[in-house]
């Protein structure tokens, strides 16, 4: 039986039913018969298919098509007919956001080895070249394509691609998240002087070096603890993250995930970011300045945190300062948007299923990859606005690995 037989059978039955109805209408004189139309001598005894029959036939067709797609993909890969490494730079950026030379460079910089092993310690353990594993991660992040569609590009089965993607996300997270929480290299003294000067040129703030805010990333409705993940403001389930953005376009601190219902201030207090800023920002002991971040009114003012003046008690000058600072603080929102525009997979909530995959790590790794994209491209909207160049990819990775 061909995989198209159910559809063909239904099509024939529709044709029979429609032709019979037209013939009856012609007999009653409701429809005129064109002269060139041939008379149908067939006797139509078939009944119109039911909705259940239609759905079952379409489901069978989808299953057959998916199996055929996997078979063709594996066949093409084995024959060498589909090789992502031969893509042009333009096509590679479209599919992966990086060129092939950049992907090979990144695979080396991550220091995860030339060969990556998956399902380690199990009978089904297998390995893959680091470059290919990285391309699978990037392609999956770029767009929420089905795994069967990715198999056409990489010649791997759906379950294998799922294992590769999720384990690569976990490996990257384990290796880099301790430094991503607060990048001390990004906040070294020379950088803070540069950041504060750039922000001072755009606002009245003297020693501000970055902007802080929280973001809510939607996920599919979880099976467990639905109330904890639900946020009434966003009218959906999700996870929260806290980020600090610097004028070079790099997200220099990313923390999370936290429950979607929690407030940004609670996440700030539990993250112990204030203690980290105390170590990195305070140079008063050597007669230097005390740098700080700028956040929205939800945060609490301190030596290392500046917030807007209260509108109810602010005078005209303070309101003008608020307006000026709001124009620069928007940079942190731009970087949240940049993560989503680069990695559409993160914004498709139906792919973010807690309990089935490590959804809490996706946004962290996506932000890390966004930073690398900024470094490889020499900047983005934020860095151009302040005229501060980001570090090179080598400098950025070196800083994360040597803290």
End position of a domain, from candidates 79, 101, 125: 79
Q: What is the pLDDT of residues 130-187, one digit of tens each?
A: 999 999 999 999 988 888 888 888 888 899 999 999 999 999 999 999 999 999 999 9
Say which residues have a Cβ less than 8 Å from residue 194's Cβ, sequence separation at least 6: 247, 388
**Cα–Cα dist 232/317, whole Å:** 35
Same domain, 208 and 137: no
Same domain, 105 and 122: yes
> Which pLDDT belongs to residue 81?
43
Query: 357 — phi, psi (to 5°)?
Result: -155, 160
- Per-residue pLDDT band for 42 (boundaries 50, 70, 90) equals very low
CA distances from 205 to 197, 200, 277, 312 (A): 9, 5, 17, 21
Q: What is the pLDDT of residues 178-223, one digit of tens each?
A: 999 999 999 999 999 999 999 999 999 999 999 999 999 888 888 7
Same domain, 235 and 291: yes
Q: What is the pLDDT of residues 332-354, one digit of tens each?
A: 999 999 999 999 999 888 888 87
**CB–CB of 148/70 below 8 Å?**
yes
The dihedral of CA 58, 60, 63, 65: what is its sign? negative
Answer yes or no: is pLDDT of 317 > 80. yes
Same domain, 305 and 231: yes
> Which pLDDT belongs to residue 68?
55
Partners of 41 in the beta sheet?
none
**CB–CB of 154/132 below 8 Å?**
yes
**Cα–Cα dist 50/6, whole Å:** 13
End position of a domain, from candidates 176, 204, 235: 176
- Going by C-alpha positions, the residue among 177, 248, 246, 239 that lies closest to residue 214 is 239
End position of a domain, from candidates 53, 79, 105: 79
Same domain, 268 and 336: yes
Q: What is the pLDDT of residues 382-399, one digit of tens each?
A: 999 999 999 999 999 999
Which residue range(s) make up the domain with 58? 5-79
**Cα–Cα dist 235/249, whole Å:** 30
- Per-residue pLDDT band for 63 (boundaries 50, 70, 90) equals low
Answer yes or no: is pLDDT of 25 > 60. no
Same domain, 50 and 126: no
Across the chain, mean pLDDT equals 84
Same domain, 294 and 395: yes
Q: What is the pLDDT of residues 145-156, one digit of tens each?
A: 888 888 888 888
> Which pLDDT belongs to residue 87?
78
Same domain, 384 and 246: yes
Same domain, 307 and 393: yes
**Cα–Cα dist 403/388, whole Å:** 23
- Going by C-alpha positions, the residue among 95, 193, 223 that lies closest to residue 150 is 95
> Which pLDDT belongs to residue 38?
45
Same domain, 172 and 216: no
Same domain, 297 and 368: yes
Q: What single DSSP character describes residue 191?
A: H
> Which pLDDT belongs to residue 266?
85
What percentage of the chain has pLDDT greater than the value 70? 80
Answer yes or no: is pLDDT of 4 > 80. no
**Cα–Cα dist 334/116, whole Å:** 34
Total-model pTM = 0.78
Same domain, 301 and 339: yes
Number of domains in the chain: 3
> Which pLDDT belongs to residue 112?
95
**Cα–Cα dist 108/114, whole Å:** 8
């Amino acid at each position: 039986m061909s995989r198209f037989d159910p559809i063909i059978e239904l099509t024939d039955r529709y044709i029979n039913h429609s032709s019979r109805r037209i013939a009856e209408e012609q007999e009653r004189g409701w429809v005129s018969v064109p002269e060139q139309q041939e008379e149908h001598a067939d006797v139509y005894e078939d009944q119109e298919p039911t909705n259940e029959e239609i759905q079952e036939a379409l489901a069978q067709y989808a299953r057959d098509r998916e199996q055929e797609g996997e078979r063709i993909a594996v066949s093409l890969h084995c024959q060498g007919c589909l090789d992502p490494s031969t893509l042009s730079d333009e096509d590679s950026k479209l599919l992966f956001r990086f060129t092939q030379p950049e992907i090979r460079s990144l695979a080396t910089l991550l220091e995860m080895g030339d060969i990556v092993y998956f399902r380690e310690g199990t009978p089904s353990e297998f390995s893959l070249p680091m470059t290919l594993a990285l391309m699978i991660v990037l392609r999956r992040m770029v767009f929420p394509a089905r795994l069967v569609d990715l198999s056409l590009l990489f010649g791997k089965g759906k379950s294998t691609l799922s294992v590769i993607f999720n384990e690569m996300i976990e490996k990257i997270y384990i290796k880099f998240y301790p430094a991503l929480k607060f990048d001390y290299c990004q906040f070294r003294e020379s950088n803070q002087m540069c950041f504060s000067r750039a922000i001072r040129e755009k606002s009245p703030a003297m020693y501000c070096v970055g902007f802080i805010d929280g973001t809510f990333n939607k996920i599919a409705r979880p099976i467990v603890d639905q109330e904890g993940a639900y946020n009434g403001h966003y009218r959906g389930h999700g996870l929260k993250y806290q980020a600090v953005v610097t004028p070079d376009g790099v997200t220099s601190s990313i923390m999370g995930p936290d429950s979607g219902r929690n407030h940004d201030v609670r996440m700030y207090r539990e993250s112990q970011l204030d203690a980290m800023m105390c170590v990195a920002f305070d140079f008063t002991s050597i007669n230097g300045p005390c740098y700080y971040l700028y956040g929205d009114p939800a945060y609490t003012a301190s030596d290392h945190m500046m917030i807007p003046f209260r509108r109810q008690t602010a005078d005209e000058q303070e309101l003008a300062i608020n307006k000026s600072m709001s124009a620069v603080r928007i940079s942190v929102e731009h970087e949240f948007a940049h993560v989503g525009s680069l990695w559409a997979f993160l914004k498709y909530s139906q792919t973010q299923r807690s309990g089935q995959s490590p959804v809490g790590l996706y946004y962290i790794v996506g932000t890390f990859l966004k930073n690398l994209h900024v470094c490889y491209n020499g900047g983005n909207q934020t860095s151009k606005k302040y005229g501060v160049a980001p570090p090179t990819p080598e400098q950025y990775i070196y800083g994360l690995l040597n803290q």
